[in-house]
Structure 1
Amino acid sequence: MPISRALRLFPLTALAVAGALSASAVLAGCSSSSDTSAANAGADAGAAASTGYPTQDVVASVAADSKLHAALLAADPSAASGLTLGTTYSPGLTSLPHVGENSAGQSIGADIDLRNAVAKVLGVTWSVQNGTFDTIIPGVQNGKFAVGQDNFGVTAAREKIVDFATYLTDGQALLAPSGSTLNKVTDITQLCGLTVGTGAGTTFQTILTSNAGKCAAAGKKWYTVQYFSDNAAIWLGLNNGRIDLYFGPTLGLEYDAAHVPNVKFLGQISSTAVGFVTAKGSPIAGLLTEAVNELIRNGEYARILAKWSITGNGIASSALNPKANL
């Protein structure tokens, strides 16, 4: 789903192109999780206010499942020394709540907490290796990575070449400068005649390509799409008027709309299950699914989502290769 997990770039880039941002403005605003106990609520709220993101540890209490650990080692004995996980480097905070990096150089975000919790259930550690969005799935296919995680939306085309173990739901949404005449988008034909910025090889490209004919059918000018490898150029395009709309992941754009001045969230076009990816037929995929379901059963999953205020994007159960809607 993302533009090279990159949909994430450092906040100073976003600051520069948004024009009016300061570091304090980017960092202001995320409240602490609703699951914080009364005893530490004040401390966590203070930490969130000073950092711009929730800081409570919701992974420390996760316990290993001995049966899943044994099953993983039986399937892949090398996992005893860690599982390789391919993803993309995401500096700064503009890609939260999915992923980002704090001032200490630590990776943070819902995706980080979820994958670390899954690793704890499986009784292993991740050996994280960074690539680009378009190299993660090939890396999983050729064995470079045991697992890939990059906000990958489940699509029929991807399910032909990799297996999915779902852990979240995200969507495809739109963001515009605050001066845009659009205030809410509910149908793709509202984009007709406009220039849209998004990423190549993504679910966003799939949607825009498959629906392009609807403008002509409605007697309207076709929308123009400009593809970018990262979101810095999209922010720049919004700022200088080169593009009218940013088509990206719902959670990220909602976060940006709440933290970046002079932009507004226009709504979601569709939603997609998001999951870890593994090589086709890998037994690890099923074990990832079981690990996520264990987190759901014991309440750890809900605590992670509550921390990042994305409870509404949770799943009732993890699925192995669910039916794709794209």
Structure 2
Amino acid sequence: MFRTTPMRRAIVGLTAAFAMTISLTACGEESDTPGTGSGATVPSASADTSLAEKVPAEIKAAGKLTIGTDSTYAPSEYLDADGKTIIGFDVDLFNAVAQKLGLTTEWQSAKFDAIIPGVTSGKYNVGVSSFTVNADRLKEATMVSYFSAGTQWAAKAGATINPDDACGKKVAVQVGTVQVDDITARSKKCTDAGKPKITIDQYQAQSDATNAVVSGKDDAMLADSPVCAYAVKQTNGQLALAGDIYDSAPYGYVLPKAQADFGAALEGALEALIADGTYKTILSKWGVEAGAVTDPAVNPQVS
């Protein structure tokens, strides 16, 4: 997903868990310790005084960062079994970044397409929600890259789906993601060639898109690669990955446009976590180490 966006949900029974996700709208609890969704415990990160000095005065005075996230995108960010605590690899990693800056975190659930406006309006200090860095977003905000993901497709196990020729298929995608542009362009290519269009079903939550394929309402879905792979695993063999990962691009933390200096502090914190091994530990805990980067950057150049 990836997101213009990206996916989400640990399940007990797939349908029941998706239903729980849809019904819960609570904000996440304040979190100053890493999430505990799966795997090894993440070590606490010690504060770095030189990095903490780059934190804006009003945030330093508050002592915490308020973070907007779309908590429907496992394993990036999603609700734990209690229905209110937000966990995921994005959560663990950014909690560690905040600790490096001497800050705690307060995670708040939001619709994906409302997060960047929330950052620019001051509702959130940071947006952390598997945002793909792209030119349009860089016009609105400062972004700090921290991970790399591509787009992946999935369909019913045993189904024959070719992402490069999905004409006439019904395809699920999350609202506001880069995948919407992707599938729209593919559908136009179909109709330009005189073939049936792709029926594009857009869902507010990636979990809803996944469930649509599981139930047979849609033939396939596409999302950010780590999200899609995680979703497939959670279906216990009902879905399978289709095609290769493509269009890899960085995820980025979202800050107000004028806060490039604060972005440099986040970049420095990430570099420190990479150097001391905490970054690798967190990604390995969630099984997403394939997306690791070695060179986080403020407003990285993208095509």
Does TM, scored on the shorter chain, surpass 0.5?
A: yes
Report the more deviating stretch, 221-230 or 3-12: 3-12
Matched, 1:127 2:106: yes
Matched, 1:248 2:223: yes
Matched, 1:278 2:255: yes
| Distance verdict in 2 for CA 1:210–1:6, change over 3 Å | closer
Matched, 1:173 2:152: yes
Structure 1 equivalent of residue 59 of structure 2 = 78
Structure 1 equivalent of residue 138 of structure 2 = 159
Given that residues 257 and 263 in structure 1 are in contact (C-alpha distance below 8 angstroms), is that contact kept between their aligned partners in structure 2?
yes
Aligned-pair identity (%): 29
1:148-227, aligned counterparts within 5 Å? Answer: 148-182=127-161, 185=162, 188-227=163-202
Distance 1:14 1:79 in 2: 42
Residues 150-172 of structure 1: per-residue CA shift (max 9 Å, x gap): 11111111111011101111121
Q: Secondary structure at the match of 1:222?
A: coil
Match for 2:101: what amino acid? L
Residues 101-140 of structure 1: per-residue CA shift (max 9 Å, x gap): 3335543321111011101111111122222111110011
Report the more deviating stretch, 210-219 or 123-132: 210-219
Structure 2 equivalent of residue 264 of structure 1 = 240
Given that residues 76 and 88 in structure 2 are in contact (C-alpha distance below 8 angstroms), is that contact kept between their aligned partners in structure 1?
yes
1:190 Cα offset (Å):
2.0
Structure 2 equivalent of residue 322 of structure 1 = 300
1:10 Cα offset (Å):
6.4
Structure 2: state its 5+ residue gaps: 19-35
1:53 Cα offset (Å):
2.6
1:241 Cα offset (Å):
2.9
* Among candidates 293, 300, 304, match of residue 282 of structure 2: 304
Match for 1:53: what amino acid? S
Structure 1: state its 5+ residue gaps: 19-50
Residues 27-52 of structure 1: per-residue CA shift (max 9 Å, x gap): xxxxxxxxxxxxxxxxxxxxxxxx98
Match for 1:131: what amino acid? A
Matched, 1:291 2:292: no
Distance 2:88 2:293 in 1: 18
Residues 191-212 of structure 1: per-residue CA shift (max 9 Å, x gap): 2221111022211012223344
1:94-105, aligned counterparts within 5 Å? Answer: 95-104=73-82
Structure 1 equivalent of residue 7 of structure 2 = 7
Distance 1:9 1:116 in 2: 20
Distance 1:159 1:13 in 2: 39
Match for 1:213: what amino acid? K
Distance 1:3 1:166 in 2: 14
Distance 2:233 2:9 in 1: 17
| Distance verdict in 2 for CA 1:317–1:143, change over 3 Å | same
**Higher Cα radius of gyration:** 1
After TM superposition, the score normalised by the length of structure 1 is: 0.78
Distance 1:293 1:147 in 2: 18
Match for 1:125: what amino acid? T
* Among candidates 119, 142, 152, match of residue 121 of structure 2: 142
| Aligned-pair Cα RMSD in Å | 2.6
Distance 1:171 1:199 in 2: 15
Matched, 1:67 2:44: no
Structure 2 equivalent of residue 46 of structure 1 = none
Distance 1:234 1:98 in 2: 16
Report the more deviating stretch, 277-286 or 203-212: 203-212
Q: Secondary structure at the match of 1:160?
A: helix
Distance 1:69 1:279 in 2: 18
Structure 1 equivalent of residue 71 of structure 2 = 89
Residues 273-318 of structure 1: per-residue CA shift (max 9 Å, x gap): 1011001121322211121111112221111112222221001111
Match for 1:225: what amino acid? I
Distance 2:286 2:7 in 1: 18
Match for 2:54: what amino acid? A
Given that residues 60 and 103 in structure 2 are in contact (C-alpha distance below 8 angstroms), is that contact kept between their aligned partners in structure 1?
yes
Distance 1:99 1:77 in 2: 26
